[in-house]
Amino acid sequence: VCEAFQCKALSIPEKGYMNCLPSASGSFQSGSNCEFFCEKGFVLKGSKNLQCGPTGKWDSEEPTCEAVKCDAVRHLQRGSVRCAHSSAGEFTYKSSCAFSCEDGFELHGSAQLECTSQGQWTQKVPSCQVVQCSSLAVSGKTNMSCSGEPVFGAVCAFACPEGWTLNGSAALTCDATGHWSGMPPTCEAPAESSAPLAVGLAA
């Protein structure tokens, strides 16, 4: 009686599982087949299906399950990023990163990203953009000179013509919340002299 060759038992991959169709005896004889799968967030490296050959050898090496990885998150200019990731420092499935900006800058985009099971971040990395103030308008004789665009840190200085009085702040600053430090001043005309005019009388 000829006995069929048997293949050695296979190991279940870490972070994975397998489904096998052995012979009725429970051994892996020629023709037995095993299919491998990985848990969510892991990808199969190697053959998905292994078959026991006629000589008692599997037709391929046992596969493994490797963690899916997202690309490293770039540094945020004018901001900071805090990430929770694997102990090896890799961005694997469900790793997350939270973003924030310096004072005077606001976040454009999502404040938090998460690494998906496909190895992609849920959103694009956000950016920090400078806070903007509204444009200032002056009236009358008030002269205004600004250091640049109406953004965080910009300073606008005000002056009046000679002899006129400045009512209000001589300078306003665009603050971190996008507001000016006060209202634009006004220029007040010089008061007319109330002294009576001397009238010459003929002798």
Dist. CA 65–CA 45, nearest whole Å: 6
Residue carrying the six token digits 């020629």: 30
CB 91 within 8 A of CB 118: no
Can you give the pTM of this predicted structure? 0.73
The whole-number pLDDT of residue 21 equals 85
The whole-number pLDDT of residue 194 equals 54
* DSSP classification of residue 92: B
Q: Taking phi first (over 0 means left), then psi (-120 to 50 degrees means alpha), and beta for anything else, what does residue 56 get?
A: left
Q: CATH for 79-130, among 3.40.190.10, 3.30.360.10, 2.30.110.10, 2.10.70.10?
A: 2.10.70.10
The whole-number pLDDT of residue 29 equals 86
Radius of gyration of the chain from its Cα atoms, rounded to whole angstroms: 38
User: In the CATH scheme, what is the code of domain 143-188?
Assistant: 2.10.70.10
- Span 6-67 CATH architecture: Ribbon (2.10)
Provide the strand spans (E) within the chain. 6-7, 16-21, 28-29, 33-38, 42-45, 49-51, 64-67, 79-84, 96-101, 105-108, 112-114, 127-130, 143-146, 155-159, 165-167, 171-173, 186-188
- Domain positions in the chain are 6-67, 79-130, 143-188
**In a structure prediction context, what are the per-residue pLDDT tens digits for the chain, which is 203 residues long?**
466 688 998 999 999 999 998 765 667 888 899 999 999 999 999 999 999 998 889 999 999 999 999 999 988 999 999 999 877 778 999 999 999 999 999 999 999 999 999 999 999 999 999 999 999 999 888 999 999 999 999 999 999 999 999 999 999 999 999 999 999 999 999 887 555 555 555 54
In DSSP notation, 112-132 reads: EEEB-TTS-BSS---EEEE-B
Structure tokens at 119: 């190895």
The whole-number pLDDT of residue 31 equals 87
